[in-house]
Chains A and B, each alone.
Chain A
Amino acid sequence: MIRRRDFALGAAAAVLAPPARAERPALDEMVRRITGGAALRPGRVTLDVPPLVENGNAVPLAVAVDSPMSEADHVRAIHVVNEKNPQPQVISAVLGPRAGRARLATRIKLADSQKVAAIAEMSDGSFWGATAEVVVTIAACVEEVK
């Protein structure tokens, strides 16, 4: 599938090339790559992420998608992408009717205050999404990497 290959290629390129923050695709471009240019519809996707965090190293994030998760109508995949990290990808999950409920919870790293987007890819080929803005703060007294 084109979208999955794009994701894998992006990851491979990031491993081979030295880190280049300026080169990463913008959030909108990344969303376009995932949907293959198809429109991203608002709704059905709930993106739960705190609006302000004390530290960007472990930001709790949860995605839930309103779907019957039946054979005929289910979420095929959930993609999470970010706006300002060195790489746009965060996590991609493959679901299906066996999931029962379309949900995913994890903790992510955010390098700076930025937008995060969650995209649900449906069995009928449609794409639905939600965006959230996270402000990342940091403790007043920090030490360097040991």
Chain B
Amino acid sequence: MTARVLINVPKTAKRGEIIDIKTLIAHPMETGYRTGPNGTILPRDIITLFTCAYNGVEVFRAELSPAVAANPFIAFSTVATESGTLEFRWRGDNGFAASATAAIAVE
């Protein structure tokens, strides 16, 4: 099952305008330092990498550590250069992979 994702990207923007993007993804971000109910350590399970590509060009990248809170929220900015697609990708432990896209119309 793919992880639930919530993306906030403006649908339209003026060319050259700086837009604010908010992303939210469902993930436990288990640190590897917590003990479970039977006393054993809960193994680490985190998202390690988040990227945003704008018409195929990477415009933002973040390396996450266990200190990022569960259900990671990442907000950043990018310049609305042209109409097209923003592609968001998350990768992490245990082969975790998720992606989402958002279309933007730039005039």
Contact = CB atoms under 8 A, between A and B. Distances in A.
Instruction: Consider the complex of A and B and state whether they touch directly, i.e. have CB atoms less than 8 Å apart.
Output: yes
B64 interface: yes
Contacts of B62: 91-94, 104, 106
Contacts, number: 111
A32 to B, nearest CB: 18
A93 B68 contact: no
Interface residues of B, number: 37
A7 B63 contact: yes
Interface residues of A, number: 39
Given A98-B81, A99-B59, A146-B37, A90 B67 contact: yes
17 contacts: A7-B63, A15-B44, A19-B33, A57-B70, A62-B75, A82-B67, A86-B31, A89-B63, A89-B65, A90-B65, A95-B76, A105-B76, A107-B68, A107-B72, A109-B29, A109-B67, A145-B36
